[in-house]
Structure formats: structure tokens, C-alpha cells
Structure 1
Amino acid sequence: MISDIQFQKELDLIIENAIREDVGPGDYSSLACIPDSAQGKAKLLVKEDGIIAGVVFAKMVFKYVDANLEIETFIEDGTQVKKGDIVFHVSGSSQSILKAERLVLNSMQRMSAIATKTNKYVQLLEGTNTKVLDTRKTTPGFRACEKWAVKIGGGENHRFALYDMIMLKDNHNDFAGGITLAIAKTKAYLKENNLYLKIIIEARNLDEIQEILKSDGIYRILIDNFNFEDTRKAVELIGSKCLTESSGNINESTIRSYAECGVDYISSGALTHSVYNMDLSLKAI
């Protein structure tokens, strides 16, 4: 996984690019009708029940826009909230508050939706040893925040990108000439380039799992689009040789059954690609 320093750099880039995109040469609506000296105060209002996420990120945005803005926090990230709750107050330059408003809301609404969905999956797995993972099916340019939201919701992060973990999927294996060749070539490449990355291999059937198990040094096997019966057989075959992960169209009605097959992880792209933003607003007070 990427380091905390690298992750912070990703967040800084998101903020810088989003402000560039939204504000450009200036917030002319505010500049036209609000004096530079005007001071104001606003509240972050919850309009829908769920898990709040993005509070710390919002503080980063406000400080980037105007280091003199003051934020008084009442509810922290990861807290269950209900309609009518006030998450924080922000006070200072009215122009600065308005400049940051849309980025704060867009980010928190999406992050809260992801955290809420993740938390629901986590609750469905309560009592099992299976953990929920996200995927790379994220919004381009906003991945760091979305993966952060998954963790706030109680899930865990898969690899961040293509560079922090090896994941050999069906196309890699086919293009490389088969699973065994793909693994061998990968190990040789890592050794030649002094790279120390974990290796995950996708399996499409039980025969491929048996082939994967002939190679050493595999961190996790991705049991992709298996039914319950074959998933249980796969877990039994793999035993303690490496970790296991189920994926492929797993939803709220099936996730518990897959966990009960004994897999270590269940990954779901739906955590980030199929959510509806939580309703939040920033209102002047």
C-alpha cells in the first residue's frame, strides 16, 4: 500500500485541482456582491441518515482556500448521523466560505455515501472473519478520498493503484501464455527491478486454483465469480497456503453467504461506483 506521505500528496492534488476547476480566475458571483471585509458563519447540515465522512477533508479544503477560516467540529468522521444534525460550523471571510462550499459539499456527500454503504456491508458480515475490500473502480481523480471513505465506513483498502501491488487477472494470464508463465514472469520482473510487491492471482475455476497453488509466494487468490459451492471447495483447496478473496457481482443479499464460505476478504466495486450522494448542505447562520 502507499505511504501516508504519498496518500497526503494525493489529497493535496485533489484539492488543488478541484479548486482550479471550480474557481478558476475567481468566484465572480461572490466578488460581485460581497465585500472583501465581510465575515460570515455557516453550518454543515445533515439532511439524510447515514455515516458521516469527509470532515477532516473538509478542514483541509477550508484551510487551503483560507488559512484564517475557523472550524468548530461537533461530529467526527465515522459517526452515525441523522437528519437535522449539525456536523460543524465554519466562520471567517464570507467570500472564502463560498469559494470552498461546493468542493466541501461534493466531497462530503460522496464520501458519506461510500462510508454508509461500506458500513452496511461490514454489519452484514458481523460475526464472521471476512473483511470488506474496495477496488480500483473509483471516480478518476478522486480515488484517495473514496478509499478513505471506505476505511471510515469500517472497510479495508485493496491496492491503491497499479503500482503498489501485483494483481494478475484473466487478461494478464492469457496474454502471458497462462497462469504459471504469468507468475514466473512476474517474479522474475520483480527480482530484476528490486521491487517487493505482494502478488494476487485471479482464478476463474477450480482447475486454475490448483494450478496457482503449484507456485510459491502468492499472497492472495482472487476467487472470481464462483458460486457458493465452488467457493467453499476453493477455500478448502487453498487452506492456509495463502489468503482468499471473493469478488464478482456480490451484493447485499449474497455477501453474508460468501463470507460463510470461509473467505478472508470480499471485494466490491459497488462500494465506490454505485452510490447515491448523501444529502448535506452548507447553510449560512
Structure 2
Amino acid sequence: MLTEHIIRTTIEAALAEDAPAGDITCESTIPVDAVGMAALTAREPGVMSGIGVFAATFVTQNPNIRVDASIKDGERFEAGQRLAEVSGPVRDILTAERVALNMTQRMSGIATMTSAFVAEAARGNARPDAVSPRRYARTRIVDTRKTTPLLRPFEKYAVVCGGGFNHRYGLSDAVMVKDNHLATLAEQGIDLAGAIRHIRERVSHTTHIEVEVDRLDQIPMALDGGADTIMLDNFSIDDTRTGVARIDGRAIVEASGNMTLDRVADVAATGVDIISVGALTHSVRSIDLGLDYE
């Protein structure tokens, strides 16, 4: 997903966007032969993601820049912790600084938020009244396609760094039937169960089919059609628990819609296999990291 090619081409585009005709501030203030060192320092606690992207940004700007990281992706850090040292030509370090920080701060923000959701889901699974998920050992926190255009590989990678899992990467990966699709098929006289069978006849035997339902009475039709995953969209806690019982392990159960941190434990306790959270990527706050020169 997050390949070296994607990292390199994205960084090259980001650097070109930020300095399309060079960095006139550095070129007019910093001697061309000046060298120095700066430290990447955390200004608040979090979970690291993108330390390799951080390093690649500087090396792309100038291969003579050296980055020594003291943390790995997925590891936690505390406020004030020194995370990496960057040394080499000062002009190029300063030119690449903002792009490197922008990428790593956002990715770490996603990893940190994901980690918080994962912890809450685990807390819900551990409650005395909790129903155990049927498909997995614990309820999984997964992302959605609500990502920043062209940054999806970075953002989905960051979710994994935070202990979460990825939903389908894009529209080509799996079938997800939503209300608009069903409305179109209904105009042709095809109901929910028929829609799933209709799709199954047209895709590869390896293609996963997920169906979104927004009412309990749709679940029998989704099961009758042979859905692989049934998404309970914007269900109440009580209806989610009822939905899990009705599906009874015959399909993966995904809960989605309004998944805030303060209710995810309650949702996990219902026994759903998956909780998808769009906020992990569309509403995340970047972690505050600083590059301080010494």
C-alpha cells in the first residue's frame, strides 16, 4: 500500500508545491555552505507514524541530509521526547522542514486517534455484560474511504500504526451495496436479497460483498442473499445488539455511523466484529511536533 514509489512521488510533488521556484528566503539568508543539525521533538504525547516519510522528505530534497530516528512507527512517545536528529546542509533542511512535519504530524495524529479508539473497543469487549465477537478475537477498529485525496496510502498506513485495520482500499477492492445502489435496483423490481444474488452472478468468486442496512427488518434479506458482511448503519445500541444476535455469526457484522470515542465501548460490547470510523481520517487533529535547531 505505502510503497517507496508512492512515498517518493508524493514527496516530490509536495516539495514542488511548496517551493516551485526555489526557497527565496533560504537562498537570500543562509550561506550555501552552511551545515547544521536539528532535533525532531514531541510537544505532546502520541503514537508515531510516518517517521520513514519524515526521513525520506529530507533525503529527497538533498541526499546529503542525514536523519537518525530514535523511534519506530507504532511506538508511543511523550511530550518533550527527542524523536530524530536531522543533519546536513541548512538550506535544504529548512526547505524540506514544513513538508516533512506536515506529513508526520498528520500521520501521527491519525495513529494516536486510532489507538484511543482501539483502547476503548478493548474496554468494551472486556465488560462483564459484553457479547464476544464471532469472527475475531476482539472488535476491530477500521478506517473508511473518507480520506484526503491522494494521501490515502499514508492515512491508511497510519491507522495500522495505531492498532487499527483497513477497510477496502478503494472502489475496486470489494462490493459495498448502499441505499442508493439498492434504490436503483428496486426500480428494476429487485429486492435486497435479489440484489446480492444479482451482484454475486457478476463478480469473481473471490470478491467480498458487503451490504449496508439501516433497519433490523433488512437483516433476514441480507442473510438470504448471502452477504459476506452486513453493516449496521446508525443503529442504536439496543438495535445493534439485536442485529448481532439475528445475524448469529452467519456474516461479519460491521457497525458504522456516528462513531465517537465516548460511545465506541458500548458498541463493541454488543459483539460486533468491526467498527468503522470515518473520523480517524476526516476529522483528525495533527500531533504537535517541532524541529528545533541546535
Same fold (TM over 0.5): yes
Map 1:93-112 onto structure 2 (within 5 A).
93-112=89-108
**Cα distance in 2 between the residues matched to 1:182 and 1:93:** 61
**Cα distance in 1 between the residues matched to 2:8 and 2:263:** 37
Partner of 1:210 in structure 2? 220
Does the 8 A contact of 1:172 with 1:182 survive in 2?
A: no
Partner of 1:92 in structure 2? 88
Partner of 2:170 in structure 1? 161
Does the 8 A contact of 2:195 with 2:225 survive in 1?
A: no
Where does structure 1 lack aligned partners over 5 or more consecutive residues?
none
Does the 8 A contact of 1:46 with 1:81 survive in 2?
A: yes
Task: For residue 7 of structure 1, report the CA deviation from its aligned partner.
Answer: 4.5
Q: SS state of the match for residue 200, structure 2?
A: helix
Indicate which of 23, 41, 55 corresponds to 1:59. Answer: 55
Does the 8 A contact of 2:253 with 2:274 survive in 1?
A: yes
In the superposition, relative to structure 1, how do residues 281 and 188 fare at CA in structure 2: closer, same or farther (>3 Å)? Answer: same
Indicate which of 209, 218, 227 corresponds to 2:236. Answer: 227
Write the letter of the residue equivalent to 2:232. Answer: I
Task: For residue 181 of structure 1, report the CA deviation from its aligned partner.
Answer: 4.1
- Over the aligned positions, Cα root-mean-square deviation in angstroms equals 1.8
**Cα distance in 2 between the residues matched to 1:15 and 1:186:** 39
TM-superposition CA deviations, 1:184-231 (whole Å, max 9, x none)? 33223324xxx8431111011112111110123x32111111111211
TM-superposition CA deviations, 1:30-88 (whole Å, max 9, x none)? 12222332212111111112222211111221222222211111122222212211100
**Cα distance in 2 between the residues matched to 1:179 and 1:22:** 49
In the superposition, relative to structure 1, how do residues 277 and 63 fare at CA in structure 2: closer, same or farther (>3 Å)? Answer: same
Task: For residue 179 of structure 1, report the CA deviation from its aligned partner.
Answer: 2.3
Map 1:86-165 onto structure 2 (within 5 A).
86-126=82-122, 128=125, 129-165=138-174
Moved more, 100-109 or 71-80: 71-80
Q: SS state of the match for residue 224, structure 2?
A: coil
TM-superposition CA deviations, 1:136-187 (whole Å, max 9, x none)? 1111222111111111111111111111222111111112224234323322
Indicate which of 34, 39, 48 corresponds to 2:44. Answer: 48
**Cα distance in 2 between the residues matched to 1:270 and 1:47:** 23
**Number of residue pairs matched by the alignment:** 277
**Cα distance in 1 between the residues matched to 2:16 and 2:207:** 35
